[in-house]
Structure 1
């Protein structure tokens, strides 16, 4: 059988032949790619010439191209278009791929050459980007265990292989738990309180699951369950949905044993603690934070504490409004977590005369995509050309060629917007190819969202928060598309993890700008622009609920830091979570953004482990950065935008992130704009 993954990829922009790829093609393709990469690395290590930047560091950066493209494709499909067959392949390949990574980054012959260059770096006459690449590659090897003693290296590789297996099982369990839940709404009484857009989304979800016409289903997709919790008048059904949502992976509920992540979490934490000890650290958080802007737990905790107490006060004020809404509705029961969004929506409606059902018709998905493209054009001179003839891995994928102000092709942008059973939850950016001048590579960047699709013949309508998510992920996408560096390792969003959210969160600011909303927020049926009165209400209500949302996020970050600050895993991760929240005084009705047993940021990979704080850290940066436009008097000021492009969006990891921010802003960041944006400054 011919294997398309082992042939040249001749699709537009070098895309793979998606339609021809089957799960069975991946194991032999990876076998060939891994062998090829090992041979390339061996050849670098044994060459007779003395180490130089060109023959060692640059050559290593250019190695493993077949493997890189395979991994990009494989993990894209595993996240966005999976199947039982592909999941089986993913489980089987998890450990071998991790073992290969350890073998490469512990390769003693190659490391000796890199270590030699690093020791002599000041005398090599390197350019700033070359010096940065040498520094980052050397650190990659150190953090992968290259300098450990032989027995420790062997154990370290085994730990990493086991972690890869557990990360895969965790993510697949979460997906199975989410797909296994359906709350069917069969009668008008069960649909009570739900506005038309929620009913339409629930009806479409039922159609997509083959349940026929006239059936409504609430899934655990955030863009469906949050509106359900906000509008459903059926308190019993809200409780059912809420318990299913927060109980993913914790072993609760019927038939949950197969997706129980508690022991998986515990073993991951135990192995991470061992990983840290092998590096000489007291806990995993110390190891993880060593290569961040924050540097240590103290800096992280100072930021979280700076926000926690004002957020508690703000949530307490919001609670009074929620209780008043309950009283007005004649509710005599205690305020529970499944009540908060319902009565908060009523309080918001009463206080600001703002009804989400009135707002959503002005935010059809297609117009919001046009809005974000327009903002990117006005800021950075980009033009997006739709290419409906370019097929993706799923019919939902939309392709756009991206051109710069000079008419030069900057890359290909793929967008996959809708929730479906074969796709993991959340929203994210990934790449099928990163930019690199040395490799002649233009980027292929992908955005994934999980919006609830509109009913047949009707547009998908977004909430204001959905629009924010759309712009957020596109900010990540711009970071990849605008990258302009020589070497792939430094490209686009491959930056320190507490800097990676700056470009995404910064771009969110434009979605709420009045001139953007007036131009693009139009009623999907009448074409009427967003009325001034409704815009004023949106702006007035912008900070309502920020105490609640800030506590949910910060509580998750605190639990993350607490559990990764332990010298060993807790015996019971659920009990530890509860104890941590009690110690911080989290009100019972608030809850967490993510409980440990479904916290994919932490346990599907190590990407945000001891690092969920980064969204708040980056918010300090993004609010301060946006102030530069405010100070210029124009949110599209050309001079500020040009500086933003040069210092932040195009520089990738070629510049130390603190220095990159100082070059843009002229100073270090300050925290007050973030507190102001969230309404957490003292009155």
Structure 2
């Protein structure tokens, strides 16, 4: 997932999907608020302008961001009240340059808020969310400022702007219109209230969910309850007093341990803890959801739309909720049909084991693994020894990037990081020129949100002569002691995925930061990342990194064949759970402004029934509404469909590679030049078509999923 902080640091707060915060009570005194020695107020002197975490303290963020807000306010007032005739330089470029301090400080802040939070940072996050929303309104609802942009936009053909500058003007103008610049003064004041409320609620949802994940962790006191679970994993989860093992919750509905837990009662206990984590007690998110969707619907109505999704999808490839639903209508029947066939197969496996119970969601992964072993003779524990973390990254992810794009790397141990588990690499072009810095933060911890994401500390731009500083965050369980970190294939795929986002950022070649790299529509931004997953199983890449951690032996062809042959296994389940989440999102955000939701669980149940995504009893949605952080705490409201939309793009794109020589330096360079380096400077549909030679087709996706 891409979590680049948007321009102007809008309050699309990093999703808090998993794990709990570390308790660290720090009250900021007036003396601590003094900015005289605040390292965030000036650019870092480290290579590439990387954040100097050896100097940055929690108490630095709030005053730096407040100062950034004030500086931008002053700059905007100067632009808006200027008596000079508006020009690109004194209006568009001036606004582009107005938020430098705010962007720099907030990008670092939201990194820690998502990856290494504490009570101080959470408090600042809650306080700043409505301020960021107000800052956004201060710009986009400013009548004088909009008038200057409209003057320029109306005569854009006569301005003789080069292509990227013209695109910047158009993007700003469209953002003004979408934000409500054409509303009356009275309606703008109403909108400001809605925006502040939304920012506050999304931040509160994220914090509540982080607490819910922590409180929902399941403790097992008897080792027999954890029969089948990997011993090394258990060592890492043993309680400090030696009494029992506490299993933290992952952000998704299904939990990884359900695949190996032999005790059915234990599986049910863990699954239900995940399912009910945020619908009871102090961490119940249901009232927040009801209020949030209602405010979003009212905002959409005020802006002249029938629902929030209509408003939100304006700058996407899909454009309308109807187009999204049309896309899904071609997938749901095939997905649920295959999921039902998988369910029947698993039910037979249960019976063959002498058991007589109906397949439930907490049974699926355990017995599906048995089916996989029987059909494909593939055991996850057979392949994990070949997927040691550093090998996967350096000899897999980086090696693929070298073969496709020519980039090389070297570790940098001299760059301070925000946590001891984070390590840093410097990346170089094929000719040796510097490309940027890459931070890898791969291990789960209580202070980190769940899931995986990419974002920037420093965004590429020629305007500021900046090269990118980018980080990837994952949540791989940290092994005990000096044991090696051995990955599942899913974790391998996730590492390739997130580095695909990173490549999109590293290859950015834009003048302006707000058009740079991953600053594209939600239903395009996941395309480069999903596409990069394809190289994880590419023979030349796989054989280079899949080395046994003890013997160094290359993964045998027999295991490779098993992995590939099982590639379409469980795809009915996988696609159905994703479609269920996507449709929940779309139904929450196509609610009429006149409709009031009384019961979140009842709405969810009806939503799944409406789209026939409840036909297979044992396939739950990937996220329930109550812990759907992407849409209620992150930036994916009415946008979760983008994962499936971009899956269509990435399979279609890989099909082009397969038909044109596969993994070659020439193909990689062409993809970089025509897609990965373009940021948001071109129409995305045209960009893709120019590279591909045609519009994307859904057939490669269906084939890859085994649905065709």
Q: Same fold (TM over 0.5)?
A: yes
Q: Is the 8 A contact 1:219 1:225 kept in 2?
A: no
The alignment partner of 2:568 has SS state of coil
Aligned counterpart in structure 1 of residue 666 of structure 2, from 608, 630, 639? 639
In structure 1, the residue matched to 2:22 is none
**For residues 21 and 129 of structure 1, what CA distance do their matches in structure 2 show?**
35
Q: Is the 8 A contact 1:223 1:452 kept in 2?
A: no
Deviation at 1:411, TM superposition (A): 1.3
**For residues 664 and 349 of structure 2, what CA distance do their matches in structure 1 show?**
43
In structure 2, the residue matched to 1:615 is 643
Counterpart check, 1:418 vs 2:447: no
The alignment partner of 1:410 has SS state of strand
Q: Cα deviations across residues 402-457 of structure 1 (Å, max 9, x unaligned)?
A: 11122221211111101110010111111112110111111111111001112211
Q: Is the 8 A contact 1:453 1:460 kept in 2?
A: yes
Moved more, 123-132 or 67-76: 123-132
The alignment partner of 2:186 has SS state of helix
Q: Is the 8 A contact 1:111 1:146 kept in 2?
A: yes
Deviation at 1:213, TM superposition (A): 5.3
Aligned counterpart in structure 2 of residue 673 of structure 1, from 670, 686, 700? 700
Deviation at 1:48, TM superposition (A): 3.4
Aligned counterpart in structure 2 of residue 477 of structure 1, from 502, 516, 523? 502
Aligned counterpart in structure 2 of residue 626 of structure 1, from 654, 666, 679? 654
Deviation at 1:630, TM superposition (A): 0.5
Report the CA distance shift for 1:550/1:8 in structure 2 as closer, same or farther (over 3 A): closer
Counterpart check, 1:580 vs 2:592: no
Q: Cα deviations across residues 378-404 of structure 1 (Å, max 9, x unaligned)?
A: 111111221022121111111111111
In structure 1, the residue matched to 2:267 is 238
Deviation at 1:215, TM superposition (A): 4.8
Deviation at 1:212, TM superposition (A): 4.7
Counterpart check, 1:247 vs 2:302: no
**For residues 107 and 204 of structure 1, what CA distance do their matches in structure 2 show?**
54
**For residues 100 and 699 of structure 2, what CA distance do their matches in structure 1 show?**
44
Deviation at 1:647, TM superposition (A): 1.6
Q: How does 1:208-607 map to 2 (within 5 A)?
A: 211-212=240-241, 215-221=244-250, 226-251=255-280, 257-370=281-394, 371-568=396-593, 569-585=596-612, 586=614, 587-605=616-634, 607=635
In structure 2, the residue matched to 1:85 is 120
Q: Is the 8 A contact 1:436 1:487 kept in 2?
A: yes
Listed as ranges, the gaps of 5+ residues in structure 2 are 1-31
Moved more, 220-229 or 366-375: 220-229
Deviation at 1:624, TM superposition (A): 0.9
Deviation at 1:94, TM superposition (A): 1.4
In structure 1, the residue matched to 2:9 is none
Counterpart check, 1:27 vs 2:27: no
In structure 2, the residue matched to 1:649 is 676
Aligned counterpart in structure 2 of residue 176 of structure 1, from 189, 211, 218? 211
Report the CA distance shift for 1:204/1:655 in structure 2 as closer, same or farther (over 3 A): same
**For residues 200 and 375 of structure 1, what CA distance do their matches in structure 2 show?**
30
- Note the aligned Cα RMSD (angstroms): 1.6
**For residues 305 and 517 of structure 1, what CA distance do their matches in structure 2 show?**
35
Listed as ranges, the gaps of 5+ residues in structure 1 are 252-256
Q: Is the 8 A contact 1:23 1:89 kept in 2?
A: no
Q: Cα deviations across residues 549-590 of structure 1 (Å, max 9, x unaligned)?
A: 100000111111112111135222211111111233322210
In structure 1, the residue matched to 2:11 is none
Q: Is the 8 A contact 2:548 2:554 kept in 1?
A: yes
In structure 2, the residue matched to 1:147 is 182
The alignment partner of 1:184 has SS state of strand
In structure 2, the residue matched to 1:254 is none
The alignment partner of 1:542 has SS state of helix
Structure with the bigger RCO (C-alpha within 8 Å, sep 6+) is 2
Aligned counterpart in structure 1 of residue 194 of structure 2, from 155, 159, 168? 159
The alignment partner of 1:500 has SS state of helix
Q: Is the 8 A contact 2:493 2:533 kept in 1?
A: yes
Q: Is the 8 A contact 2:460 2:510 kept in 1?
A: yes
**For residues 413 and 57 of structure 2, what CA distance do their matches in structure 1 show?**
23
The alignment partner of 1:250 has SS state of coil
